[in-house]
Structure 1
Amino acid sequence: MARKVAVIGGGIIGATAAFYLSFLDSNHQLAITLFDDGTGQATKAASGIISPWLSKRRNKRWYALAKDGAAFYSKLVADAQLGSDAYQQTGTIVTRRAKDALEALYQEAQIKVAHTPAMQAVQMLSSQEVAQRLPFLTNPPAGIFVKGGAKIDGAVFIDHLLSRAQQNGVTLKRQRVTFDARGAIETTDGPELFENVIVATGTWMKGTLEPLNYLVKVRPQKGQLIDLTVSEHQRAGLPVLMPESLSDMIPFDGGKLVVGATHENDGGFDLQATSAAEATLLGNAKTFAKRLSANQITGVRVGTRAYTDDFAPFFGHLPNNPNILLGGGLGSSGLTTGPIIGYLLAKSIVDHQLGDWQRYTKSVSQYVI
């Protein structure tokens, strides 16, 4: 009889986990159900950047996870047969305001690229060279081009993964669920017991685990992005601009430009777009592209990220219950770190063996008590 496995949450961790549970289950020994209602999901609201190597963050576990997460994408894209509308490796341009800081960063980049194959190559670009690569800019900064950097359309990415998972036999139920006191999942059809469960409900994890008397130490952070039309004739394959202390600018094929995202710690679970955030994001973009105007904005997307006190993701099994696995606290690096977490959790269920993940994360008991 097939072993029943549930994935709660269809964001970047949950969707990847559901896909790999079905992909790795070559003997069809698992009956996999994914529960998700999609409300406030950070991934679907996001357009993200896969380029962690020159981050200012100095958390060694986070960097190991982000570095391996970026490298993992080549496997995921091949396994799930993802198209360029979901994932596109066009390179990233990272800037620093001060010339000496940019030169120091370039020295760091040269050291890292020597032992980080996923970076592929790095190149110092003058402001004129940046303008050649991003022609819609009117005031381009100098920067460092990282060839291996990539960009993702979060909503398309999730839809593709879930579609592949369903083709492999995963059952998708569009509903929000929680546990009851005995560990069964409360569904609209009544309580249901599963032999293994992956919980990846982001900042809603508190409510998911509350019936089991666990306290999850995550907090919500609101994030908003704006979509603009730059030019119907904009050439394809433009790189991402990651300016220091300002909003990222992510150009997509077809003349679409995404700017963001905000980091609103007081925004909580509010999913309403605000004119203040729209003005801030447009103002940040106009620092480098002064011809942009509000009438080019085609939409605002809003999501809620989950953050931990030390800004680090966590994953592993629920304290005292190895059959319930967790992954969360991704913060703003979720599109980089989420897929590899989903893969590792899925693989541990398929292999009947928990992995040694100490190089990537502290114990779950640091975040769930």
Structure 2
Amino acid sequence: MKKIAIIGAGIVGSTVAYYLSKSDMTVTIFDEGHGQATKAAAGIICPWFSRRRHKAWYRLARSGADFYQELLSDLKNDGIATDFYDQSGALLLKSRPEYLEELRELAESRLVESPLIGSLSVQTLAEAQKSFPDLAGFDKGILASGAARVEGSQLTETLIEASGFSLLKEKAELKRLSDGTYDVNGQVFDSVLLACGAWLPDILEPLGYQVDVSPQKGQLRDYYFDDLETGHNPVIIPEGEIDVIPFAGGKVSVGASHEKNMGFDLTVNERILADFEVRAQDFFPKITEAIKTRDRVGIRAYTEDFCPFIGEVPGLKGVYAVSGLGSSGLTTGPLLGKMLSQLVMGQQTALSASDYLISRYIKK
């Protein structure tokens, strides 16, 4: 029986653990539980309005959005609750009407390959207020009914629990043994899966590798209300950095920041979050009436060209890595996790891994 170590229990690591639980492999998961991007993520699954010209990235994001339907079906067949995901739609806002029209045309051109987009409709503020009465600050927006929101920490916890594997809350150290196996914190494994995001250089640089992965700090704030039903309200995506993300139970998240050159600093920057709150008031004035708040900080992983990678680490047979997901982690992560499980089991991957070559980003 093959013994596998997974380093990282975020969106990729938890997904690969879930799918490996359907094999005959023995798996141990290592995660220090410090700074993980997924735990600080309130995800919006809505890649179809992206103007990025990187075709491989868009294909991954589009396919990642579609893959959620497969993941949800697999979990439901196992009797696992999937309330971390809600296809509540997203309302995109632009300051100029011509920008809205361009976005609508772009999304409509992608409907054939991405029917998950659902219906696309231009809504006035009055129309939007019928389903979300507390909105303000715009004339028109585009509602994409197929967009969804995901609570990242709930998703990963669900997948880890569903896998049934042990999660060790330890900082992992990888050593190569002379017989071709690997030591992780004193345990010997046949194969190691590196899903540790921005911490990937910490694992591989001691083994003589250069890794094109940099950390980026992200902060958001959750607002809680005791008199507001937010369970089926659409996500609000204004221009700029902030999003307003309603969740069930009277919780609304605002964020998240994209802070470069901050290393692994996890301290809350009150100035940034206060600025987000002021900007969010334009669209959701009721935010000032929240009964309590909670701040979340995590570290994303970015590559130089902002594209993820996946594959076997050059020169380390049986060691596979995924990283560089950036701010699209909750969209692309589950699919990359499934692909990682397929690689280690010798199966054909859902997308061609050659489009996301690890050798472009990791060199001996």
Aligned length: 357
Q: Which residue of 1 aligns with 2:293?
A: 298
The verdict on how the C-alpha distance between 1:71 and 1:355 changes in structure 2, with shifts beyond 3 A counting, is: closer
Name the % identity.
38
Q: Which residue of 2 aligns with 1:90?
A: 88
Q: Indicate the SS of the match to 1:293.
A: helix
AA in 2 matched with 1:330: L
Which of 271, 277, 281 aligns to 2:276? It is: 281
**TM-score of the aligned structures, taking structure 2 as reference length:** 0.93
Question: CA offsets, 1:224-281, max 9 Å, x none?
Answer: 0011124524253111111121411100112110001001113221111121122121
1:242 equivalenced with 2:242 (yes/no): no
**Distance across 2 between alignment mates of 1:7 and 1:203:** 15
Which of 341, 363, 368 aligns to 2:357? It is: 363
**TM-score of the aligned structures, taking structure 1 as reference length:** 0.91
The verdict on how the C-alpha distance between 1:115 and 1:295 changes in structure 2, with shifts beyond 3 A counting, is: closer
Alpha carbons 1:61, 1:360 under 8 Å: kept:
no
Q: Which residue of 2 aligns with 1:5?
A: 4
1:340 equivalenced with 2:340 (yes/no): no
**Cα distance, 1:202 vs structure 2:** 0.6
Q: Which residue of 2 aligns with 1:19?
A: 18
Q: Which residue of 2 aligns with 1:210?
A: 205
**Cα distance, 1:298 vs structure 2:** 1.1
Q: Which runs of 5+ in 2 are unaligned?
A: none
The verdict on how the C-alpha distance between 1:285 and 1:296 changes in structure 2, with shifts beyond 3 A counting, is: farther
**Structure 2 matches for 1:153-164, cutoff 5 A?**
153-164=151-162
Q: Which runs of 5+ in 1 are unaligned?
A: none
The verdict on how the C-alpha distance between 1:297 and 1:133 changes in structure 2, with shifts beyond 3 A counting, is: same
1:264 equivalenced with 2:259 (yes/no): yes
**Distance across 2 between alignment mates of 1:294 and 1:317:** 50
**Distance across 2 between alignment mates of 1:56 and 1:271:** 31
**Cα distance, 1:359 vs structure 2:** 6.9
1:193 equivalenced with 2:188 (yes/no): yes
Alpha carbons 2:230, 2:251 under 8 Å: kept:
no
Q: Which residue of 1 aligns with 2:323?
A: 328
**Distance across 1 between alignment mates of 2:49 and 2:69:** 20
Q: Indicate the SS of the match to 1:75.
A: helix
The verdict on how the C-alpha distance between 1:315 and 1:51 changes in structure 2, with shifts beyond 3 A counting, is: same
Q: Which residue of 1 aligns with 2:304?
A: 309
Alpha carbons 2:72, 2:82 under 8 Å: kept:
no
The verdict on how the C-alpha distance between 1:138 and 1:121 changes in structure 2, with shifts beyond 3 A counting, is: closer
Q: Which residue of 2 aligns with 1:53?
A: 48
The verdict on how the C-alpha distance between 1:353 and 1:114 changes in structure 2, with shifts beyond 3 A counting, is: closer
**Cα distance, 1:33 vs structure 2:** 1.1
**Cα distance, 1:70 vs structure 2:** 0.3
Alpha carbons 2:91, 2:234 under 8 Å: kept:
yes
